[in-house]
Amino acid sequence: MSFRRRFPLFFSILGASLLACGLPGDSALAQSPAAGAQLLGQFGDWGAYTASPGGKKICFALAKPAVSETVPPGRPRDPAWFFVSTRPAEKVKEEVSVIFGYPFKANTDAMVEVGNINFAMYTQSDGAWVKNAAEEVRLVDALRRGSADVTVRGESGRGTKTIDKFSLKGVSQALDRAAQECR
């Protein structure tokens, strides 16, 4: 079951929060009447947030791409987001996921690159998660130690390939602030 399907209120809150913080939100998310996520702080290109959908506290660090490319060029898509979430009630700490802004091509993986380290991600609908959960700690560590950006690659159901680059400026501080809130 996808994170998005398990936490629909989270995504509604996320969309409303992005708009409230001046970030462009996914139109489907932004139109939701749900609100309640709280910006804990903006750190460079990353924000730290908290929310309590269904009474269960979650905290997350979130960024939008600094650069997005499609092949072929100019293909439309919804906004993409990279986030790292913690859900204490479920004993989930720093789960990495990406919303790509389009449904994936069936039976394809996405790829995350930090420096010269690659991580495979399984895909479902328009989301992707680290394929090997044991690698998640290594990925978060690579994000913290990265010097420039993280690159995420995927392919839509229509065959459009995407390359999103997310700045790592502020990621450590946003992760630390989210972790502090969801101890």
Domain ranges of the chain: 41-181
Q: Quick one: pLDDT at residue 147?
A: 83
Q: Quick one: pLDDT at residue 4?
A: 43
One-letter amino acid at 78 equals: D
Cα separations (Å) of 21 from 9, 33, 49? 18, 16, 11
Model pTM score: 0.81
* Per-position pLDDT tens, the chain of length 183: 344 444 444 444 454 444 344 443 443 334 322 246 799 999 999 999 999 988 899 999 999 999 999 999 999 999 999 999 999 999 999 999 999 999 999 999 999 999 999 999 999 999 999 999 899 999 999 999 988 899 999 999 999 999 999 999 999 999 999 999 998
Cα–Cα nearest to 47, from 30, 22, 69: 22
> Which CATH code of 1.10.10.10, 2.60.40.1930, 2.60.40.1880, 2.40.100.10 fits the domain covering 41-181?
2.60.40.1880
